[in-house]
Amino acid sequence: MRKQTMFALLIAIPAMSALAADDAATRKDLTAVIALQGLPCGEVVRVETKGENDHIATCKDNKRYHVFINSAGRVVVEKQ
Amino acid sequence: MRFFAIASLAVFVAICGAVTQASAAEPANSATAAPLDLSSLETRLRETEAIGLMTKLSLRNQVDDLLNQFRAFYAGRLETTLEDLRRPFNLLMLKVLSLLQDKDPSLAAALASSREAIWAILSDRVKFAAMS
């Protein structure tokens, strides 16, 4: 049992770290996108992914933005 | 998607590549970076991890908007002056540079050193038409 737990952890830890890295990259990407639109945010601290290139970003100051790519291929940032 | 996201960025900075000669790879953190040729620049923009995918696409949108302003200006559809167009050009350059400067300083330096060369093309109707 103990060996099984160790094995599961060995698999889970790298997977979690990869997810965390992706999440950090997405937060940074969305932070830059929001800043490029000239909107106040500071830093994105949480991301809820609704689909491919479709996210709800929560900023440090609790502002929330819907960031997505519309059918015309433009990045749209809508305040929630 | 990734290709399209950098395509217009490449157009924007390709103007620089068109007026400069190919140069050897520059050392990292060089304060006086040599200008890049187009293919090198495209490759570096495509591969740089300093800018995320959605950020690249957002920049592409803004580059497209700026290039459309120049097209409208030269076509007589936009009443403005080159001096007025210089402001959004400078702002966009600053945005790109600020995104690159920490994680890809050599590319940022190369772009910064090419700023006037890019403007020289954008502000010349004939050269701009040739690049468009």
Tens of pLDDT, residue by residue over A12-44, are 555 555 555 568 999 999 999 999 999 999 999
Q: Does B50 touch chain A (CB under 8 A)?
A: no
On the question of pLDDT at B6 being above 90, the answer is no
The boundaries of the domain holding residue B94 are 2-131
CA distances from residue A44 to A30, A55, B46, B101 in whole angstroms, order as listed: 7, 11, 24, 20
Q: Does A69 touch chain B (CB under 8 A)?
A: yes
**Region label for A48, one of left (φ > 0), alpha (ψ between -120 and 50) or beta (otherwise):** beta
Q: What is the DSSP letter of A64?
A: E
> Which residue intervals of B20-114 are DSSP H helices?
38-47, 53-74, 82-100, 105-113
pLDDT level of residue B26 (50, 70, 90 thresholds):
very low
Residue A6's pLDDT is 66
Chain B residues with CB inside 8 Å of A54's CB?
Answer: none
Phi-psi region of B51 (alpha: psi -120 to 50; beta: other; left: phi over 0): beta
Structure tokens belonging to residue A25: 């990259």
Q: Give A55's strand partners.
A: A49, A67
Confidence band (pLDDT; 50, 70, 90) for B31?
A: very low
Task: Give yes or no for B51 touching A (CB within 8 A).
Answer: yes
Tokens of B109: 């330096």
Q: Does the beta-carbon distance from B54 to A75 stay under 8 Å?
A: yes
Which residues on chain B are in Cβ contact (under 8 Å) with A30? 52, 54
> Residue A22 has what pLDDT?
63
Of B1, B53, B59, the CB nearest to A36: B59
A36, A73, A74: residue with CB nearest B55: A36
Query: How does residue B131 score in pLDDT terms, banded at 50, 70 and 90?
Result: confident
Note whether A67 contacts B51, CB cutoff 8 Å. Answer: no
pLDDT tens, residue by residue, A40-78: 999 999 999 999 899 999 999 999 999 999 999 999 999
CB contact under 8 A, B52 and A69: no
Number of domains in chain B: 1
Residues of A in contact with B55 (CB under 8 A): 29, 32-33, 36
Domain that holds residue A39: 2-79
Residue A50 tokens read as 């609704």
- pLDDT of res. B41: 67
pLDDT above 90 covers a percentage of chain B that reads 47
Higher-confidence residue: B24 or A25? Answer: A25
Is the pLDDT at B125 greater than 80, yes or no? yes
Q: How many domains does chain A have?
A: 1
